[in-house]
Amino acid sequence: MELTVKRMKQLKNLMIRARANAFDSLAATLGALQALQLRSDTCENTSALIPRCSVVEVIVSSYNRMEKVDAALLRMSDGTYGICVECGAEIGEGRLLIQPWAEHCIICQEHREVAMLGQLTQEFKAIAGKPMEAAWRV
């Protein structure tokens, strides 16, 4: 099933809005970071660690979203949008409506998530039996 021109425009507009939102979030977070003037020595203070981690998470998440949207817009312009980058299958229209920057079909995405979960499980098992101090050094 090929996406219609109207649907492609709709998806492109969704991505442009998502990128703008991610950019705004990134800009606001960086502004807040400057206002708080977080320094490297704030990690010693547990109360400062939580906001700092939250700030870093927002920055990374916003940047990653912008990268994914940019890549999807590039695929749209080169005619490969909606095609799984891993297996070459068509990405379902419903999936694209929910996540227009999706680069994997649902089957490949599920395989990736299962593999990631397996890796995290192995890492957890590797540190689970160690004393807490040793676990943090892994």
pLDDT tens-digit series, residues 48-90: 555 667 778 888 999 999 999 999 999 999 999 999 999 999 9
Structure tokens belonging to residue 96: 């694209």
pLDDT reading at 131 higher than 70: no
- 51 and 78 in a single domain? The answer is yes
Band (pLDDT 50/70/90 cuts) for residue 37 is low
- 111 and 75 in a single domain? The answer is no
pLDDT reading at 117 higher than 70: yes
pLDDT reading at 7 higher than 70: yes
Within 10 angstroms of residue 129's Cβ, the number of other Cβ atoms is 8
What residue numbers bound the domain in which 71 lies? 5-104
pLDDT reading at 136 higher than 60: no
Using CA atoms, how far apart are residues 30 and 78, in angstroms rounded to an integer? 33
- 79 and 120 in a single domain? The answer is no
- 69 and 131 in a single domain? The answer is no
